[in-house]
Structure 1
Amino acid sequence: NLIQGCYIGTNNLGTAASPNASLGIWVLNSPNNVIGRRDIFTSQRNVISGNGTNGFEGIRIEGAASSGNRVLGNYVGTDSGGSVAIPNFGTNVWINGAPNNVIGGLADEDQNVISASNSNGVHISGAAATGNIVQGNLIGTDRFGSADLGNFTGVAVTSAGANNVIGGTAAGARNVISGNTTAGVIIDTTSGTRVEGNYIGTNAAGTAAIPNSTQGVIVAAGATNNTIGGTTARAGNTISGNTTAGVQLNGNGNFVFGNFIGTNPTGTTPIPNNVLGISISASNNQIGGTAAGKGNLVGFNSVGGVRVNSGSGNAILSNSIYSNSGGAVLLLTGANNNQPSPRMTVASVSASTVVAQGTARGPANTILTIQLFASTDCNQAERLVGTTTTTTDGSGNATFSANFSAPVDTRKFITATATDPLGNTSAVTTCAEVVTNTAFISGRVSDVAGTPLPNVVVTLSGAPSRVVRTNADGRYTFSGLAPNITYTVTPQSPYYGFIPLRETFPNLSGPITADFVTQSTIPPTVFPPPSDNFDGPTRDPDRWNLGVLSHPLTDFDPLVTVAQQSGKLVITPRANLSGNHFNGYVSVNSFDLTNGAISVKLEQAGAGTTAAIFAVGEDSQNFYRFVVAGPNVSPSVREQLLLEPTTTAGSVLYFRSTHICAFVTTPRSSRSISKLAPTALTGPYVVPSRY
């Protein structure tokens, strides 16, 4: 069916109301009808205005069978010129429980003017109302998109099914939703609604405000999994010029991506929302994100950029938030679990590198995501320049340091936010002014053949102190150092000695190079070699027979004694040691899929006995290292290394060392298997199931 060229609710010129007391047009369980133009001829346009003196609609499309209907190129709520209000007393266009209908279209001739209603411009409701599209319309303005002819509410999606779209990403899909008495868009008790590519609160050119008198977009309580904007081209909305907030989130679990909020569509001219850019009174919403295209531009709003009033888990990431009067990100008391803001301590630029350092707080032993911004004001987050992570200690404290090559240009402050793993993002409250600094220390760590050594720990002592690791080319850098301070650089590794051992630079004033070369190498085992069966012809002759539980004293390394005590293996340095160092490595994290655990600890064996120090520590390869120091080390306290096994049959203990003692204990007996090698030896040892 076609309804074209009619004056419905007006006189025959479309200049004054001649109202129908009830509906203008009612489509009830009827599919594939067209209301309005199908081509460029304006004579096909309907004027549907002045209807519903008893509160009924201009157009109602109702019922699950009412699908595929199109409303194209009409003036709904105005005169025939599209510039003077002739209100419908109820909603202008109501889709009630009907799926897959289109209001408007992509071509200019498809554009409806839907304005001046005493209720909603467009209302979508009912569980069966899914897949409806509202696109290319002027909702709340005249036909030029330049004057206010507002509805009470622009577009309302309430108690509806999923996947309704307001706007779209195709060329021509944009709605102008402006000038309405309350909100531009209301989403309530529904999910899966997408609001894409619209101008909400501006004129059709996006150059000046035609305010919606409350918010641009409200996502009410009970509405979840709705998206305002998006990551693809033309998905972002321009939400600007509104009387209160650009976006108000009262529902949990919604997404705000890729929008311009408080500016024109290019982000270059202020069109502020009169209070906030985004206001949140709910939980688990995402404002921006780390993926490409998710960040919003939120600028020039009169009270603040993004404010979290209540709720938790609201992640505010990778946005550009600046020139907002009250600050970029604000948290009211209790919001986002009161996640503390990072405190910036250093921001310096040398050559093309910017160094930012600071402190952060959060839950104990928690990884925090730190985002760093270059800003012209101290409490803004204008341009994202880097993202790093840091882990809090048991008291919830952490430090961070990040280098990035993005130029700071005219922006002279570095600010930061912290976000915990639950999505609680902090406010932006502190900054560090960027200062030009040419003081830095860099260098390379290599072996005697010149091969670079990656992942070597390099420590800087001074003010501040730092720890870095060498990169794949063996290089490290400490940038942005305060001048006229003494610094010491020390490389550290359980596998290498270094020449020089360390380097100290008093009163550092410029760039310094400090290279280090290894003295010797003891490479760790990064994967175990194949094991043999210990019984057959492939048995490794260098391994002890598993059935042998004790060995002559001469088989043991001359620097230590080994004893089994109540299922423990005890390694004790000999008294009055001198000569070479004794080094060993034991892997404690390399068991197979059976259950197993080993505890490693030092215990004092007795005071007053002259013996070498027996030290234990853990390195990045998850090896425990024990060292007998020498030469001529004679401490007064004798210490022992105790390794206490808890294993199951078939467990594996991997190791590699020149002098090593390895053991396992089976669940069926308390026997231990020990092996001391006077020459290089490689594991693994496997406990056969027969034990």
Structure 2
Amino acid sequence: MSGPLRRHLQWLTLLLGSLLLALAWNNLPVAAASFVVDSTADTADALPGDGLCADSGGACTLRAAIQEANENPGSDLIAFAITGGNTRIDLTTPLPVISDTLTIDGTTQQNSSCPSAITAANLNIELNGSSAGSLANGLEFVAGSDNSLVKGLVINNFEGSGIVLQSNSNTITCNNIGTNRAGTAAAPNGDAGINVMTGADNVIGGALTGNRNVIAGNLGSGIFAGPPATEPIITLPDEDPGLPPPTGTLILGNRIGTNALGTAALANAVNGVTVTGVGNMNSVIDNNLVSGNTGAGIAVLEGATLTLIEGNKIGANVLGNWNLPNGANGILIENGAQTVIHDNLISGNIGGGVFIADPPSSIAAENNIITANYIGTDITGEAALPNIGPGVAMQNASNNTVGGSDPADRNIISGNQGDGVFVTRSPTFSAVNNQVIGNYIGIDVSGEVALGNGGVGVNIFGGVETLVQDNLIGGNAAGISLSGNTTSNNIVLGNAIGTDPTGTFAWGNGEHGVFLNSRADSNQIGSIIPGEGNIIALHSGRGVWMTGVGTENNAIRGNSIFANQGDEVENKLGIDLSGSGVNPNDPLDADVGPNQLQNYPDLINLYSFDGAFLLNAVLNSTPNTTFDIDFYLNSACDPSGYGEGEIYHQSTVVNTDADGVAVLTMALDPVDPGTPFLTSTATDPAGNTSEFSNCVEVTE
């Protein structure tokens, strides 16, 4: 994880701690005035501002209490002591907006309690908005109401949102919003469960189990968090001057789109959580269950930046062992930037796991980071809990990172029905400089057992300068695919494709290790630099297969390619250009086809004498051209007599003459007796690598 990212996460942790201290303070029943609601009637206060909560008959209603609290400067408390059994408040008109700091605590009603780790809340104060009027909201906090608290209420059946926030540093905790009292059935509000229209540093839920809200069944998003209108109330020292002040919403420990126990879906009709708008920075979505929603689980949209999505279960049940699917993607980043998606379970969704998209907009979906997630598996990482689409998809999006060089950043992207990782672009858009590093793709958490994706492990269609490095990729329909006429300059280094780095485990992909097609151009598969070659082994198809005119300038060097099966025609070819079996060399090498059907060297013999190894070979190819010749050692020749290339051995450079011929007589580095069979490839200056040459054995 990069230094700036670590500093940003540390800084957000400090912010979270400060806000939780504020939450603890808000839970204390200290107030300038306290009003105790003793009636379920919906009558107004007889004389607002006189300090007495009393309608014309002397009863203290919720409406009257809010009226008095608004007139009384300072932090006020509304508690409940309703007798007679019925504790549902049926509102006939919208409640007054709340314009001063106010705590509304439904847990003060007798026999009320917040949830535990294994039980639902027992909430007795219910606000029913079915007769409150057109577009009425449940509770609405406006300017002046900073640092308010709503606790222990059931808020349902309003035509608008359950709660609307237009102020700062408020806390919403231990409520059921959009459901019945038990949290077992929907009683929908007509818009969002909680609508943060403006405002900074609002907390929904909290770090403790008892802070949990159930936000489900609503006809909008469960939580809609728009950009703040003002600077935040809490400001912290910023060790990185490039980071803006905190302004986002903190969404912590809730159940969003499920019943109170997290065992069944109660869908919010849009997304579980929507974070949107330019200026919406540093929102935190942590330790929530976000499942069962009609749209995406979490959507970060339209310029929202620096959102942290961490420790959530998205698309699964509370135990993480069964699916409660969101109806679209688990996480959608659309024109959102610098999102950190870390340590989540993102599985079981109807769409993909994570979808990063950049539709027409001046706002780029870039610099998003996806680390340490289980995507497509259950909570153990050992069994599939598939997303229907790709595990991770990036469309028209650039500069995003999946995984990282630190093993702690590794994602398990396995068990999905689509591709593991899909990078693509639409015409006139770009998908540049994305990175897929250090992940298990089609492999379970142990790194030993295949748990394949139904599509390709890493599928790049139109991506440019993608780095695919140091991943384990196995058990998928194919390992890596590079296709499309703008798929260029992608780099594939240091991956183990079909087996682990030691060659101990066999989890070959069902087709080919690496497939290049449809004019994919100038891509690099491996390198002769130590540690940068790929292992490409044990596949049902070829090791590397390249097809189509215009699929050229693709360098395949320094890899370990062995034990690939092919079929009856392409029997065990390590590298296959055009799919017609071993291509015969031709004079002057003036071909049209994949990698221009580059000729391979013709190995004549390899002698061992007194500890020295002498090779005789010839290359017939393009005249007056410099070629890189790479040599590989093998434990056996393939039945075709050509290839593969089990161990990269060494390289040399040759120059063809005017007739296109380069004669090679050279001493090789010592050859291990366990791998006495030599093969080679030729690569021209543009990067066109040949198939493997014929195989020769060391003789004395």
Task: Please state if 1:344 is matched with 2:578.
Answer: no
Q: Secondary structure at the match of 1:290?
A: coil
1:185 pairs, out of 399, 421, 424, with: 421
Task: Please state if 1:155 is matched with 2:403.
Answer: no
What residue in structure 2 maps to residue 329 of structure 1? 575
Amino acid at match of 1:255: I
Deviations 1:471-527 (A, max 9, x none): xxxxxxxxxxxxxxxxxxxxxxxxxxxxxxxxxxxxxxxxxxxxxxxxxxxxxxxxx
Task: Please state if 1:87 is matched with 2:325.
Answer: yes
CA shift, 1:409, in A, is 2.7
What residue in structure 2 maps to residue 125 of structure 1? 357
What residue in structure 2 maps to residue 5 of structure 1? 253
1:197 pairs, out of 403, 426, 438, with: 438
Change beyond 3 A, Cα 1:357–1:268: farther
What residue in structure 2 maps to residue 433 of structure 1? 697
CA shift, 1:249, in A, is 4.1
How far apart, CA to CA, are the structure 1 residues paired with 2:371 and 2:690?
37
How far apart, CA to CA, are the structure 1 residues paired with 2:635 and 2:450?
26
How far apart, CA to CA, are the structure 1 residues paired with 2:603 and 2:338?
52
Alignment of 1:297-316 (within 5 A): 297-310=535-548, 311-316=551-556
Amino acid at match of 2:285: I
Change beyond 3 A, Cα 1:422–1:139: same
How far apart, CA to CA, are the structure 2 residues paired with 1:194 and 1:249?
17
Which has the higher Rg, Structure 1 or Structure 2?
1
CA shift, 1:245, in A, is 3.6
Amino acid at match of 2:275: V
How far apart, CA to CA, are the structure 2 residues paired with 1:202 and 1:381?
24
Range with bigger deviation, 126-135 or 72-81: 126-135
Change beyond 3 A, Cα 1:322–1:3: same
| Aligned partners of 2:603 and 2:693 also within 8 Å | no
Report how many residues are paired.
Answer: 410
How far apart, CA to CA, are the structure 1 residues paired with 2:655 and 2:672?
27
Task: Please state if 1:60 is matched with 2:299.
Answer: yes
Task: Please state if 1:48 is matched with 2:290.
Answer: yes
How far apart, CA to CA, are the structure 2 residues paired with 1:167 and 1:402?
43
What residue in structure 2 maps to residue 416 of structure 1? 680
How far apart, CA to CA, are the structure 2 residues paired with 1:355 and 1:249?
40
CA shift, 1:430, in A, is 0.8
Change beyond 3 A, Cα 1:405–1:429: closer
2:475 pairs, out of 227, 241, 261, with: 241
What residue in structure 1 maps to residue 91 of structure 2? none
2:451 pairs, out of 189, 193, 210, with: 210
Q: Secondary structure at the match of 1:336?
A: helix
What residue in structure 1 maps to residue 222 of structure 2? none
CA shift, 1:207, in A, is 0.8
Task: Please state if 1:252 is matched with 2:488.
Answer: yes
| Aligned partners of 1:343 and 1:431 also within 8 Å | no
| Aligned partners of 1:215 and 1:248 also within 8 Å | no
Amino acid at match of 2:318: S
| Aligned partners of 2:479 and 2:497 also within 8 Å | no
How far apart, CA to CA, are the structure 2 residues paired with 1:203 and 1:295?
23
How far apart, CA to CA, are the structure 1 residues paired with 2:465 and 2:445?
29
CA shift, 1:328, in A, is 1.3
CA shift, 1:46, in A, is 1.0
What residue in structure 1 maps to residue 636 of structure 2? 377
Q: Secondary structure at the match of 1:183?
A: coil
What residue in structure 2 maps to residue 99 of structure 1? 337
CA shift, 1:405, in A, is 2.5
2:370 pairs, out of 121, 131, 134, with: 134
How far apart, CA to CA, are the structure 2 residues paired with 1:383 and 1:354?
17
Alignment of 1:487-566 (within 5 A): none
Amino acid at match of 2:478: T
| Aligned partners of 1:356 and 1:414 also within 8 Å | no
What residue in structure 1 maps to residue 464 of structure 2? 224
Amino acid at match of 2:576: L
2:266 pairs, out of 8, 14, 18, with: 18
What residue in structure 1 maps to residue 285 of structure 2? 35
Deviations 1:116-168 (A, max 9, x none): 111110011115111110000000000111111111211001111x3210000
How far apart, CA to CA, are the structure 1 residues paired with 2:316 and 2:477?
24
Change beyond 3 A, Cα 1:352–1:8: farther
What residue in structure 1 maps to residue 532 of structure 2? 294
Q: Secondary structure at the match of 1:337?
A: helix
| Aligned partners of 1:362 and 1:420 also within 8 Å | no
How far apart, CA to CA, are the structure 2 residues paired with 1:155 and 1:215?
12
| Aligned partners of 1:388 and 1:402 also within 8 Å | no
How far apart, CA to CA, are the structure 1 residues paired with 2:647 and 2:596?
26
| Aligned partners of 1:352 and 1:407 also within 8 Å | no
What residue in structure 2 maps to residue 442 of structure 1? none
What residue in structure 2 maps to residue 261 of structure 1? 497
TM-score, normalisation: structure 1: 0.58
How far apart, CA to CA, are the structure 1 residues paired with 2:299 and 2:433?
23
Change beyond 3 A, Cα 1:85–1:351: farther
How far apart, CA to CA, are the structure 2 residues paired with 1:402 and 1:274?
39
CA shift, 1:377, in A, is 3.0
How far apart, CA to CA, are the structure 2 residues paired with 1:218 and 1:185?
6
CA shift, 1:434, in A, is 1.2
Aligned residues: percent identity?
35
Q: Secondary structure at the match of 1:418?
A: strand
Task: Please state if 1:275 is matched with 2:539.
Answer: no
Higher helix share: 2
What residue in structure 2 maps to residue 654 of structure 1? none
Superposed CA RMSD: 1.4
How far apart, CA to CA, are the structure 1 residues paired with 2:291 and 2:346?
10
CA shift, 1:96, in A, is 1.0
How far apart, CA to CA, are the structure 2 residues paired with 1:266 and 1:69?
39
What residue in structure 1 maps to residue 667 of structure 2? 403
CA shift, 1:299, in A, is 1.1
Amino acid at match of 1:316: I
What residue in structure 1 maps to residue 651 of structure 2? 387
How far apart, CA to CA, are the structure 2 residues paired with 1:89 and 1:28?
20
How far apart, CA to CA, are the structure 1 residues paired with 2:503 and 2:399?
29
Change beyond 3 A, Cα 1:356–1:269: farther
Deviations 1:514-559 (A, max 9, x none): xxxxxxxxxxxxxxxxxxxxxxxxxxxxxxxxxxxxxxxxxxxxxx
Consecutive unaligned residues of structure 2, counting only runs of 5 or more, are 1-248, 426-430, 566-571, 581-592, 638-642
How far apart, CA to CA, are the structure 1 residues paired with 2:617 and 2:636?
18
Q: Secondary structure at the match of 2:417?
A: coil
How far apart, CA to CA, are the structure 2 residues paired with 1:253 and 1:335?
16
Q: Secondary structure at the match of 1:206?
A: coil
Deviations 1:155-196 (A, max 9, x none): 001111x32100001231000101111100000120100000
Amino acid at match of 2:372: G
Consecutive unaligned residues of structure 1, counting only runs of 5 or more, are 37-44, 105-110, 230-235, 438-691
How far apart, CA to CA, are the structure 2 residues paired with 1:402 and 1:46?
65
| Aligned partners of 1:370 and 1:387 also within 8 Å | yes
Amino acid at match of 1:329: I
How far apart, CA to CA, are the structure 2 residues paired with 1:246 and 1:300?
14
CA shift, 1:265, in A, is 4.7
Amino acid at match of 1:154: G
Q: Secondary structure at the match of 2:595?
A: helix
